[in-house]
Chains A and B, each alone.
Chain A
C-alpha cells in the first residue's frame, strides 16, 4: 500500500450550487479510500455542506415521492467519506469556519465536524504534505 499522507482541502462553495462541491467530495473520497489523513477547512458557504438539518424531499412536478426522488444530501456524503477514511485507517478532520457558521445559522453539523477559524486552515496546511484550495469564482 502507498505511504499514508496528510492532505488538506479548503472548500468555499455552498451545497446545491456548484459542481466544485461534488468534485471536491470526489477528491476527498479518493483520498479516504487510500487511508490518508484528510483535513478539510470549510469557509463561507461551504460550512453548510455538513449541515445536519438538510432534508430530502419529494418532487411533485415529476410525480415522484421522497424515496423515488432519492434526493442527494451532502451531509450524508460527508458522513460517508468520514466512515470510508476510518475503514481504511485514515481520518477526516472537518473544520467549519465558526463565523461563517454563525452568519448562516448552520451550527448543527453531522458528527465529526468541529468549529474553528482560518487559523486552523493555516495550521492544517502547515502540517500537511499538500494542500488544495478550491475557491469560488
Chain B
C-alpha cells in the first residue's frame, strides 16, 4: 500500500477537471492505497456546505481523507462550522510532514 497526498488548489466552479482529480483519489483509495485529498487556495471553496460537489463526497465514501488548509479557509472567511462533515481543517505543515515520510505528493 502506498500513501498519496493529492493537493487540489483549484475549485470546481472554474475547472471541470477537479472532478477527475477527485475520481483519481477515489480510484487510488479503492485500490487499497492510503489517500489524502488536501484542499488549498481556491480548492477549499468546494468544502463549504451547499457548494457544488466536484466529486469530493464520492472520494470520501471511497476512503479518501479530505483536509482543507486552515490559512486558505481563513483568507476566504470560511469557518469550521461552514464545512461539510467530510472535511477537516489542517495546517499546511501536513504536506511537509508527508513529504518527509515519502508520500507520493502531487499538485493540481
Residues of A at under 8 Å CB distance from B?
A: 2-3, 5, 7, 19-20, 23, 26-27, 30-31, 34, 36, 129-130, 132-135
Residues on B with C-beta less than 8 A from A3 are 100
**Which of B9, B96, B103, B105 has the most A CB atoms < 10 Å from its CB?**
B96
Contact (Cβ within 8 A) A34 B9:
no
For residue B81, CB closer than 8 A to chain A, the reply is no
| CB proximity to A under 8 Å, residues B71-99 | 71, 92-93, 95-96, 99
Contact (Cβ within 8 A) A23 B100:
no
Q: How many A-B residue pairs have CB under 8 A?
A: 45
Q: Contacts A5-B99, A19-B41, A23-B40 given: A133-B107 contact, CB under 8 Å?
A: yes
How far is the CB of A92 from the nearest CB of chain B, in Å? 14
Contact (Cβ within 8 A) B96 A134:
no
Using C-beta atoms within 8 Å of the partner chain, give the interface range for chain B: 10 to 19
Contact (Cβ within 8 A) A130 B100:
yes
Contact (Cβ within 8 A) A20 B96:
no
Contact (Cβ within 8 A) A129 B100:
yes
Q: Could you list some 28 contacts between A and B, CB below 8 A? A: A2-B100, A3-B100, A5-B99, A7-B96, A7-B99, A7-B100, A19-B41, A19-B42, A23-B40, A23-B92, A26-B71, A26-B92, A27-B92, A27-B96, A30-B92, A30-B96, A31-B99, A34-B96, A34-B100, A36-B100, A129-B102, A130-B99, A130-B100, A130-B102, A132-B95, A132-B105, A133-B106, A134-B107
- How far, in whole Å, are A5 and B97 apart by their CA atoms in the complex? 11
Contact (Cβ within 8 A) B92 A130:
no
Contact (Cβ within 8 A) B9 A19:
yes
Q: Contacts A132-B105, A133-B107, A134-B107 given: A20-B41 contact, CB under 8 Å?
A: yes
How far is the CB of B78 from the nearest CB of chain A, in Å? 15
- How far, in whole Å, are A52 and B105 apart by their CA atoms in the complex? 31
How far is the CB of A126 from the nearest CB of chain B, in Å? 15
Contact (Cβ within 8 A) A23 B41:
yes
Q: Contacts A19-B9, A20-B9 given: A31-B41 contact, CB under 8 Å?
A: no
How far is the CB of B90 from the nearest CB of chain A, in Å? 13
- How far, in whole Å, are A34 and B100 apart by their CA atoms in the complex? 10
Residues on A with C-beta less than 8 A from B9 are 19-20, 23
Residues on A with C-beta less than 8 A from B105 are 130, 132
